[in-house]
Amino acid sequence: MQTRQLGASDLHITPIGYGAWAIGGGGWAFAWGAQDDNDSVASIHEAIDLGINWIDTAPVYGLGHSEEVVARALEGMQQRPYVFTKCERIWNEQRQIGKSLKADSIRRECDASLQRLKIDVIDLYQIHWPEPEEDIVEGWQTLVELQKAGKVRWIAVSNFSVEQMERIRPHGPITALQPPYSMLRRDIEATILPYCGEQNIGTIVYSPMQSGLLTGAMTRERIASLPADDWRPTHSKHYQEPLLTRNLALVDLLRAIGNRHTKTPGEVAIAWTLNRPEVTGAIVGARRAGQLAELVGAADWRLSASEYQEIEAFLKANPE
């Protein structure tokens, strides 16, 4: 699998990375339902065997559990993949999630992540959300200090606007931005992607398959049977009517395009995001072995111009 340089860093990442959100398991505010840790470890091992060279996680995924599972999967590896994690989302003993960009809080978070991940340095450390918004400069300055201290190699942000990146950039260069991006969520195309391209800020997009909706595996019946603590049916408008009917029709189109190339609908959806030159890589989640094998083909394959236009025509004819 080919690699791409992430911004101005020395990280050369594969076009697809392993997303560790869902493997945090159940029992927290944005869970994907219960998860078997053995399945999670097997899926990470499969990702590495397929050539994927980076894992994206966060402390809040499972309230520490995702990072612990990543550590278990990587234990004993002499050449481990890059490990990316985040800060800013914190929680209390009642498992209530809060937000902090205060310096002391971020330092504690960094140390806790290093301990859970069982590594000496974090390859890419990201501010998860620009919240509280008034503290983003303090938070960014703290990441700069952690980088100078050698606890993290490169520093980045997630879910930031252009204006917010402009505010923090004088205090230290931004290696990368992690925004949401899929053919159903395209707001970053107008300003954020051009800005990142101009400033040589790497772009790692998340939810390229719109949280699993564009994989081809989702049906009305499956959505209706998702566990009660799966966040998607209640928090994502794309899983609800009137958009659900339109989105399932889009999946039918992606399946038809994929069939021409022996690709899955999910591979078409991922490849669509990678078509943008500013996009360095896409985060692809998996919960068990076998899932990534049906998606990894998107890494080095691209849609034709006419196929890209087919999708564009559908979206224009069926707007939100």
Contact 272, 308 (CB under 8 A): yes
319 CB neighbour count, 10 Å cutoff: 6
Assess whether pLDDT exceeds 90 at residue 226: no
Q: 289-307, pLDDT tens digit by residue?
A: 999 999 999 999 999 999 9
Contact 183, 313 (CB under 8 A): no
Long-range CB contacts (< 8 A, 24+ apart) of 185-192? 185/210, 189/276, 191/162, 192/161, 192/162
Contact residues for 142 (Cβ-Cβ < 8 A; gap 6+): 101, 103, 106, 107
Q: Is 8 helix (H, G, I), strand (E, B) or coil?
A: coil
Closest CA to 163 of 133, 121, 127: 133
Mean local confidence (pLDDT), 81-105: 97
Assess whether pLDDT exceeds 90 at residue 14: yes
The per-residue b/e assignment along 183-212, b for 16 or more CB within 10 angstroms, e otherwise, is bbbeebeeebbebbeebebbbbbbbbbbbb
pTM of the model: 0.94
Domains and CATH numbers, the chain: 4-317 (3.20.20.100)
Assess whether pLDDT exceeds 90 at residue 273: yes
Phi and psi at residue 84, in whole multiples of 5°?
A: -110, 135
Which positions are catalytic?
A: 61
Q: 106-141, pLDDT tens digit by residue?
A: 999 999 999 999 999 999 999 999 999 999 999 999
Assess whether pLDDT exceeds 90 at residue 32: no
Cα–Cα distances in angstroms (integers) from residue 68 to residues 58, 62, 198, in the given order: 10, 10, 37
Contact 252, 268 (CB under 8 A): no
Contact residues for 108 (Cβ-Cβ < 8 A; gap 6+): none
CA distance linking residue 3 with residue 12, whole number of Å:
5
Q: 171-204, pLDDT tens digit by residue?
A: 999 999 999 999 999 999 999 999 999 999 999 9
Closest CA to 106 of 120, 126, 121: 126
Closest CA to 294 of 47, 2, 37: 47
